[in-house]
Structure 1
Amino acid sequence: MEIFFTILLLTLMVSLSGVITRILPFQIPLPLMQIFLGALLAWPHFGLHINFNPELFLVLFIPPLLFSDGWKTPIKEFLKNSKEIISLAFILVVITVMGIGYLIYWMIPNITLVSALSLAAVLSPTDAVALSGIVNEERIPKKIIDILQGEALMNDASGLVFLKLAIAGAMGTMKFNISSIFLEFLKISIGGLLTGIIVTWGYSKSLRIITRWSGDDSATQTILLLLLPFAAYLIAEHIGVSGILAAVSSGMTIGQSNIIRNAPLSMRLRGNSIWTMLEFIFNGMVFIMLGLQLPDIISSSIIKAELDPTINIWKLFTDVIIIYIALMTLRFSWLWLMKKISLKFMKKRSMLFGEYTTKEILIASFAGIRGAITLAGVLSIPMFLKHNPFPSRYQLVFIATGVILLSLIIGIIFLPLLLKGIIISDRYFYQKEEIMAKAIAAEAAIESLYKTEERLANNSKENIDTQILNEIISLVICNLRRRIDRYNNLENTLSIENLERRIRLNALHAERSEYYHLRAQQKISNETLIKLLRDLDFLEALLVENNN
C-alpha cells in the first residue's frame, strides 16, 4: 500500500509541477520546479523517503525515454551529423574522463584515481530533457539542436560504459590498460546497437503474426510496443553489452522501419497518445526523484565531512564550482578547436562546427547540462570495493549532485541571454517544406484518382453510375487542387491557412456544444455522443497540431 501511495503522490507532483510553473508570475523551468517539489516532499516535515535503487531507476525510466528520443530522431539527419555527434558523444567523453578525472585526482588530495575517473565518467553525459525544460528547442538554431540531441542520445551510453570499465578495473575483473579498455568499449557499444536492432526485428515479425491472429487488437499491440524498450535494454544487459545503446537503436530502428506505418490505425493513434503521456510522467519523475535525494545527499555529506577531519564542507562546494567551470571550459575549447580544424583541414567536407559563431559555440557549451544519467550513474557506484568502502563515495555523490544543480542554474541564467536576438528561420522553413510536400503528394493522389476513375468506369461488376463517380472524383480532386494552389501562392498561404484554421476550430466547438445539447434533449444516445465527440477530437487535434 505504501508503494502504491508513493507512486500516486509522485504522479500527482508531476502533474502539479506543470500547473505551478504556468501560474507563477515569474518563469521557472519545469525541471527545476520538479526538483524543488521533490526536495520539499523529502523535507523532514513531510518525510517522504524513497530508497533510491540506481539499477531499478535505469531500467524503469531511462529505456523508454531514450527509446522515444531515438524514435523521433531522423536517421538521415543523424548520419549527416555523425562526425559532429561522434566528436562530442565519444571523443569529448574520452577527453572529459581523462582530463577532468586527473584534474579531480590532483585537486582533491584524499581521492583515488579510480574514484576520480568514475566521477568524471558520470559527469560526461549531457541531458537533452533538462535542456528542453529550460529553453524551448524551437528557440535554438537547428544546426545546434540536432547535434545536441544526437550527442545526448549517445553520450549517456559512453559515459556509463567508462564508469563500468573504471569500476571493473578497480575490482580487478579486467586489465586496466588502453588497449583492453578500447576493445571492451567497442564490444559493449557495437553489441548494444546490434542488440537493439535484432530485438526490434524480432518484434516486427511477432507483431505481424499477432496481427494476423488477433486482427485489429490495438490494446495488445500497444502493450507490446511499450514493452519493446525494456526488452531491448534487459536483453542487452543480460548478454553484457550496453542496454542504453540497445534502447536507442531500437527506437531509431522502429522509427525508420515500416513497422508502425503498416500497423493498424487504432494502434498508431493509441500508441502516440500513450507515449506522449508516458514521456511527460517519466521525465517529471526523473527530476522529482533527484529532488527527493537532495536532502539525504546534502545531510549525509555534511555529517561525513564533519567526521572526516581531512574534509572541509565548504571545500566541497568550491570543488563543485571548479569542476563545473573546468567542464564548460573543456567543452567550449573542444567546440572551438573543432571549428578551427573544420575550416582549415576539412574544406570539402567541413563539419557544421565550422559555421558556428562564437556566440553559438557558447550556446552549445552552456547547453551541455547534466541531469538524470549523471545522478543515476554516481548513485550506482558500489558502496564497497573488495569488501572495503568505496573510496570517497560520498564526495563523488555530493560533487555530482552539485554539478547537476549548478549546470541547471547557470543554464537558466545564461541560455536565454545568449539566445536573445537570435532569429530562428527554421519554423518558416518547416512550414514551407510541409506545404511543398502536401502539394507533391496531392499531385500523386490526383494521378491515382484518374486511374481509379478509369478502372471503376470500365469495370462492369462495380455497377457505379458514371455521373455520380465523376462528381465524387471531381470533389476530391478539387480539395487536392487547393493544396497545389497553396504551394504556388506561398506568400499568402500561411496567413490564409491560419484564418481557415481559426474558422474550422470555431465550427468544431459549435458542433461539440450542439452534440451535448442533443444528448441533453435525449435525441441521441450516449454511445452516439461518444463516437461523434471522438471524431471531433481527432479533427481538432489535427488542426491544433498543424498550428504548432
Structure 2
Amino acid sequence: MEIFFTILILTLVVSLSGVIIRILPFEVPLPLMQIGLGALLAWPKIGLHVDFNPELFLVLFIPPLLFSDGWKTPLREFLRHAGEIIALALVLVIITVIGIGYLIYWLIPGIPLVAALALAAVLSPTDAVALSGIVGAGRIPKKIMDILQGEALMNDASGLVSLKFAIAVAMNTMIFTISAASLEFIKIAAGGLLSGIFVTWGYSKSLRYIIRWSGGDSVIQTVLLLLLPFAAYLIAEHVGVSGILAAVSSGMTIGQSNMIRHAPLTMRLRGNSVWAMLEFVFNGMVFIMLGLQLPDILSTSIIQAKMDPVIQIWMLFAYVFFIYIALILLRFIWLWLMKRISFRFMQSRPLVFSEYNTRDILIASFAGVRGAITLAGVLSIPLFLNDGSVFPCRYQLVFIATGVILLSLLCGVFILPLLLRNIVVSDKVLQRKEERMARAIAAEVAIESLYKLEERLINSQEENIDVQILNEVSARVIGNFRRRIDGNSDIEHAILIEDLERRMRLNALRAERSEYYHLRAQQKISNETLIKLLHDLDLLEALLVEHD
C-alpha cells in the first residue's frame, strides 16, 4: 500500500506542477518547479522517501520518452544532420570523457583516474527534454534545435557505454584497450539500432492480425503500442546491446513506416491522447525523482565531507562550478572548431555549424543541459568494489553530478533567454506560403479522387444512388475544395468560409450531444445506444477540432 500511495502522490504532484506554474505571478520553468516540489516532498519534516533504483528508473521512464522523441524526429532531417550529430553525440562525448576526466583527476585530490573518467562519462549526455521544458517549444532556431535533439537522442548511449567501461575497469572485470573498446561500442550501438528496427518490424507485421483478432478494439491495440518501447529496450538489453538506442530506433521506425497511418482511426486518436498524457506524467516524474534525491544527496555528501580529512564542504560546490564551466568551454571550443573545419575543408558539403555565428555557438553551448540520464548514470555506480572496499570518492561523484545538473538547468533558465532575445525563430510568411501551397495541391488531388468516386458510383450496379442527389453532394464537397484552389488570391476569405462552416458544424454536434443525454435521461434510448452515438460524435468532433 505504501508504494501505491507514493505513486498516487507523485502523480498528483506532477499534475499540480502544471497548474502552479500558470497561477504564479512570475514565470518558472516546469522542470525547476517539479525539482523543487520533489525536494519539498523529501524534506525531513514531510518525510516522503523514495529509493532510487537506477536500473528500474532506466527501464520504466527512459524507453517511452526516447521512443516518443524518436517518433517525432523526421528521419530525413536526422540523416541530413548525421555528420553534425556524430560530431556531438560521439566525438564530443569521447573528448569530454577524456578531457574532463583528466581535469577532474587533476582537480580533486585523491580521486582515482577511473572514478574521474566515470564522472566525466555521466556528465557527457545532454537532455533535450529538460531543454524544451526550461526554454519552451519553438524558442530555439530550427538549425540549432534539430541538431540538439538528434544529439540528445544518441549521446545517452555513448555516455552510458563509456560509464560501463569505466566501472568495468574499476571492478577489475576487464582490461581497457582502445581497439576492444571501439569494437564493443560499435557492437552495442549498431546492435541496439538494429534491435529496435527488428522489434518494430515484427510488431508492424503482426498488427494486421492483432486488429483482426481483437475485433477492431482500439484499447487492445493502444496498449500493445505502449508496450513496444519497453519490448525494444528489454530485448536489446537482454542480448547485450544498447536498449536506449533500441528505443530510439523503434520510435523512428514507427514514425517512418505506414503502420500508424494505416491503423484504424480510433487507435490513432486514442494513441495520440494516451501518449500526450504519458509524456507529461513521465517527464514530470523524472524531475520530481531528481528533486526527491536532493535532500538525501546533500545531507550524505555533507556528512561524508566532514569525515574526509582532504575534502571540505565548500570545495564540493567549487568543484561543481569549475567542472560545469569546463563543460561549457569544451563544448563552445568544439563547436567553434567544427565551424572552422567546415569552412576550410568541407566547402562542397559544409556542416550546418558553418552557418553558426558566435551567438548561435553560445546558444548551442548553454543548451547542452544535463538531466535524467546523468542522474541515473551516477547513481548506478556501485557502492563497493569486488574486493569489498568502498567505491572510491562515490559520494563526491554523486554530489558533483547532481550539482552540474542543477547548475546547467539554472544557467539555461537565466542565460538562454538573454541569448535568444530578438531572434526570429521561424519565418511566418514563408510558413503561410507553404501551408497555402500544400492546401492547394492536396485539394486538386482530392477533387480528382472525388470525380473518380462519382464516376464509379454512377457506373456501379450495386449502389442504388439517385444521380441528382449524387451530383448535389459532389458539387457541395468539391466546392469546398475549389475554394482552397481558387482562394489562393484571397486566402483569408477562403479560410473564413471554412472556419464559419467548422464552427457551425461543431455547434450542431454539441447540440446533438446534449440532446442524446436528454433522451437517455428520459429513458427513450438505452445506455448502450448513448455510448455508441457519443462515440460517433466524438470522432466527428475530433476531425473538426483537429484543424483549429
Give TM-score scaled by structure 2 length. 0.94
Q: CA deviation at 1:337?
A: 1.2
Change (3 A) 1:210 1:41: same
Q: CA deviation at 1:288?
A: 0.3
Q: CA deviation at 1:81?
A: 1.0
Please tell me whether the aligned partners of residues 375 and 401 of structure 1 are also in contact (alpha carbons under 8 angstroms).
Answer: yes
AA aligned opposite 1:402: G
Please tell me whether the aligned partners of residues 21 and 30 of structure 2 are also in contact (alpha carbons under 8 angstroms).
Answer: yes
Aligned to 1:211: 211
Distance 2:542 2:177 in 1: 56
Q: CA deviation at 1:276?
A: 0.7
Distance 1:500 1:316 in 2: 64
Please tell me whether the aligned partners of residues 141 and 426 of structure 1 are also in contact (alpha carbons under 8 angstroms).
Answer: no
SS of 1:185's equivalent?
A: helix
Change (3 A) 1:486 1:361: farther
Aligned to 2:403: 402
Q: 2:192 matched to 1:188?
A: no
Aligned to 1:390: 391
Report the more deviating stretch, 405-414 or 207-216.
207-216
Change (3 A) 1:275 1:426: farther
Distance 2:116 2:370 in 1: 17
Aligned to 1:296: 296
Distance 1:495 1:275 in 2: 32
Distance 2:211 2:510 in 1: 36
Distance 1:455 1:501 in 2: 29
| 1:507-546 correspondence runs (5 A) | 534=535, 537-538=538-539, 541=542, 545-546=546-547
Please tell me whether the aligned partners of residues 126 and 371 of structure 1 are also in contact (alpha carbons under 8 angstroms).
Answer: yes
Q: CA deviation at 1:501?
A: 6.6
The count of aligned residue pairs is 547
Change (3 A) 1:26 1:496: farther
Q: CA deviation at 1:209?
A: 2.0
Distance 2:477 2:504 in 1: 21
| 1:343-382 correspondence runs (5 A) | 343-382=343-382
Aligned to 2:241: 241
Q: CA deviation at 1:139?
A: 1.5
Change (3 A) 1:153 1:13: same
Report the more deviating stretch, 417-426 or 31-40.
417-426
Please tell me whether the aligned partners of residues 89 and 154 of structure 1 are also in contact (alpha carbons under 8 angstroms).
Answer: yes
| 1:92-491 correspondence runs (5 A) | 92-386=92-386, 387-426=388-427, 428-490=429-491
AA aligned opposite 1:224: L
Report the more deviating stretch, 171-180 or 388-397.
171-180
The C-alpha deviation readout for 1:183-215, integer Å capped at 9, x for no partner, is 111111001000001111111122222223233
Change (3 A) 1:473 1:496: closer
AA aligned opposite 2:152: A
Q: CA deviation at 1:503?
A: 7.1
Distance 1:252 1:161 in 2: 21
Please tell me whether the aligned partners of residues 115 and 170 of structure 2 are also in contact (alpha carbons under 8 angstroms).
Answer: no
Distance 2:396 2:124 in 1: 17
Distance 1:215 1:515 in 2: 27
Please tell me whether the aligned partners of residues 121 and 159 of structure 1 are also in contact (alpha carbons under 8 angstroms).
Answer: yes
Aligned to 2:41: 41
Report the more deviating stretch, 342-351 or 168-177.
168-177
Distance 2:507 2:302 in 1: 59
Report the more deviating stretch, 516-525 or 451-460.
516-525
Please tell me whether the aligned partners of residues 142 and 426 of structure 1 are also in contact (alpha carbons under 8 angstroms).
Answer: no
Please tell me whether the aligned partners of residues 101 and 113 of structure 1 are also in contact (alpha carbons under 8 angstroms).
Answer: yes
Q: CA deviation at 1:466?
A: 1.7
Q: CA deviation at 1:532?
A: 5.5
Please tell me whether the aligned partners of residues 35 and 288 of structure 1 are also in contact (alpha carbons under 8 angstroms).
Answer: yes
Change (3 A) 1:34 1:275: same
Change (3 A) 1:420 1:228: same
Change (3 A) 1:543 1:127: farther
Report the more deviating stretch, 523-532 or 146-155.
523-532
Q: CA deviation at 1:456?
A: 2.2
SS of 2:63's equivalent?
A: helix
Change (3 A) 1:212 1:358: same
Aligned to 2:88: 88
The C-alpha deviation readout for 1:337-396, integer Å capped at 9, x for no partner, is 111111222122111111112111111111111000000000011111222211101100
- Give the share of equivalent positions with the same residue, in percent: 75
Change (3 A) 1:221 1:350: same
Report the more deviating stretch, 9-18 or 538-547.
538-547
Q: CA deviation at 1:122?
A: 0.5
Change (3 A) 1:313 1:12: same
Distance 2:188 2:85 in 1: 18
Change (3 A) 1:202 1:385: same
Change (3 A) 1:537 1:261: same
Structure 1, gaps ≥5 residues long: none
Change (3 A) 1:400 1:235: same
AA aligned opposite 1:364: A
Please tell me whether the aligned partners of residues 237 and 243 of structure 2 are also in contact (alpha carbons under 8 angstroms).
Answer: yes
Distance 2:493 2:360 in 1: 33
Give TM-score scaled by structure 1 length. 0.94
Change (3 A) 1:430 1:514: farther
Structure 2, gaps ≥5 residues long: none
Report the more deviating stretch, 528-537 or 307-316.
528-537
SS of 1:102's equivalent?
A: helix
Change (3 A) 1:497 1:417: farther
Q: CA deviation at 1:53?
A: 0.4
Change (3 A) 1:543 1:218: closer
Distance 1:537 1:458 in 2: 34
SS of 1:460's equivalent?
A: coil
Q: CA deviation at 1:541?
A: 4.8
AA aligned opposite 1:18: G
SS of 1:10's equivalent?
A: helix
SS of 2:138's equivalent?
A: helix
The C-alpha deviation readout for 1:158-201, integer Å capped at 9, x for no partner, is 11111111112222333212111111111110010000011111
The C-alpha deviation readout for 1:510-532, integer Å capped at 9, x for no partner, is 66666666766777766666556
